[in-house]
Chains A and B, each alone.
Chain A
Amino acid sequence: MAQATTEGSLAPPHRHAPPVAVRVPSSSVRGELRAVKIVWQRELIRFSKDRLRILTQLVQPVLFLFVLGTGLSRLASAGTHGVDLRTFVYPGVLCMAVLFTAMFSAASLVWDREFGFLREMMVAPVRRSSLVLGKCLGGATVASFQGLIVIALAGLVGVPYSATLLLAVFGIQLLLAFAITAFGVMVAARIKQIQSFMAVTQMVMMPMYFLSGAIFPVSGLPAWLTVLNRLDPMTYAVDPMRRVVFSHLRISAAARQALDPGVTWWGWHVTSLVEVAVVAAIGLICLGVAVIEFSGRE
């Protein structure tokens, strides 16, 4: 029982041992980094304890990849120049995998508010920006882990396991996951109920996904759809991802032209670097707004 004192301890157990003196230091960069790290770690701990979540959030990407991809491939074979439709939708599915996980991580902020834990963080003597940053990094890490599972499926849909491909894809996923979490956290700052949050994110996520070109090539679209596609932030994650994947495929020039035309702005072919920068910028803007939102709260 509790009486089993540690061996070799000389002092007898005291009823009122002098309290261990703890001092809370003034704010410092180190203190803020510790806060970022612990909030990040908490996301990881929670994710690792929630095996069911890992599984359920795989359902949607797998459905898109294998059911939709396989089913529609008969219809699409004429237009894909012999390329497997599943290979074509694979980059979009990679984005989808992180999209849902990242949004779910952000949603936990609304849970935290409902279950009170948010208050424990909000009253701590640390900057709100540290808490928001930790949360976004946590969401990004967790979502990227989920993305890794889909990356591992590459071979099943005709995408080669090349180190540069995997690394580039993972990098873009990480960035997208961060941007999505930041967006979710920004929304969560204003929304108090989980039902409303889910409704809002569904309303945003589905159009974002469908408009992004995850399931169709982005050239030769009707004008209205082209405009919507170019305004969709997700477009700028799917497109570079697809370029990376397609650069590792041995396919005809016609197929490449039809399936991986690349995003253009007024005729200018947007480079992958610019696209990635767009995603990063959107993520940072959302992060900034989220920090302002949370800092304003009492």
Chain B
Amino acid sequence: MSEPAEQAGGVALAPPPAAASISVRGLAKRYGEIEAVRGIDFEVAPGEIFGFLGPNGAGKSTTISMLCTLVKPTGGTATVAGFDVNRDRDAVRRNIGLVFQDTTLDTYLTAEQNMRLHAELYGVSRELVGPRMQQVLEMVGLWERRKSAVATFSGGMKRRLEIARGLMHSPRVLFLDEPTVGLDPQTRSSIWAYIRELKNAEDITIFMTTHYMDEAEFCDRIAIMDKGVIVVLDTPGALKASIGHDRVTLQTADDSGAIAALAEHFEITAQMSEGAVVFGVPEGEYFVPRLFAELGVPIRSVSVSRPSLDDVFMSYTGTTIRDAEATDAERNRATVAAFRRRG
């Protein structure tokens, strides 16, 4: 679907419609019997922070590996920075930066040596290696530590160094596979601060996977992936709005009477949860006055909350992300085993 050409004022040299940074059509990956990714479609616009959200084993990492040309798709097509991942592997690689779940640094070397090694492998012109390295290392706050061996770095520092290294060659798309997994909350939020700063400082598209709901909030758009398919794709705000109701939590003098009254007067099915009456209703704040007027049961307290991404995940997959991970652990192991067998 191409956007209509610009028509304003009959400009003779209308710029071409902005091509998608990532465009995916029917992408699939099968490992023997196991379908890790079952034909997915999506587009990522230039400059976007696009998040892939889902439990472990949902197919996020397989998708990212296909987009990075590390794994060959068994079906469908994908272009990254305008290049086909199957036909133009090297061109894709020249235009992307990668930060993997597991560290890929040489811990024997210093931070600077790791950066220079990367610059050499990517053919960065010699006179730019120094200035560019300084810029990206300063961005992640490691410029002063450039002469230290990576072995002396903490987990958070290593991750920051990997992000800086992934940016060394000015990629058009940066892939971050679970960039904050295994880090403490404070380090996680600092990584996010760097990612947001990066978006302001550089002309770059960021594609990332995460299974932390709170991190998905930082993305411009998110795709929720479950069991190899994208179940929904939108902005975090729209996703939460799509649930269509707020969560109302009531404490009353007579909880069972309140549940009965809700069913009778408002046709609302409420539940008991952690000692309170809980139900969903559209535009909760406008509902509260009616509640006081018509419920007929004394109310001790009321709270109204907007749906969280947890609620979104729940409503689209029928399970919480933590429960999904527990049930998917088995399937995930099978995928890993199949992958190992292939060598």
Contact = CB atoms under 8 A, between A and B. Distances in A.
Contacts, number: 106
Given A25-B123, A116-B102, A117-B106, A125 B170 contact: no
A45 B109 contact: yes
Interface stretch (A13-21, A178-186, A208-216, A266-274): A13-21
Interface in B156-171: 168-170
A49 interface: yes
A119 interface: yes
* Contact-size category for B: 35 or more
Given A31-B123, A123-B93, A2 B169 contact: no
Interface string A118-130: 1111111110000
A190 B125 CA distance: 34
A19 B169 CA distance: 11
B70 A298 contact: yes
A91 B122 CA distance: 42
Given A16-B200, A35-B121, A42-B106, A119 B135 contact: no
B106 A19 contact: no
Interface in B44-95: 68-72, 90, 93-95
B218 interface: no
Contact of B132 (A22, A31, A123): A22
B103 interface: yes
Nearest to A25: B123
A26 B109 contact: no
B105 interface: yes
A9 interface: no
Interface string B87-130: 00010011100101011111111000100111011111100100
Interface in A1-45: 2, 16-17, 19-28, 30-31, 34-35, 37-38, 42, 45
Contact of B95 (A20, A21, A24, A50): A24
A137 to B, nearest CB: 15
16 contacts: A19-B203, A20-B132, A21-B170, A22-B128, A22-B132, A23-B170, A24-B124, A38-B116, A38-B120, A42-B109, A50-B108, A116-B100, A120-B104, A120-B118, A123-B98, A192-B343
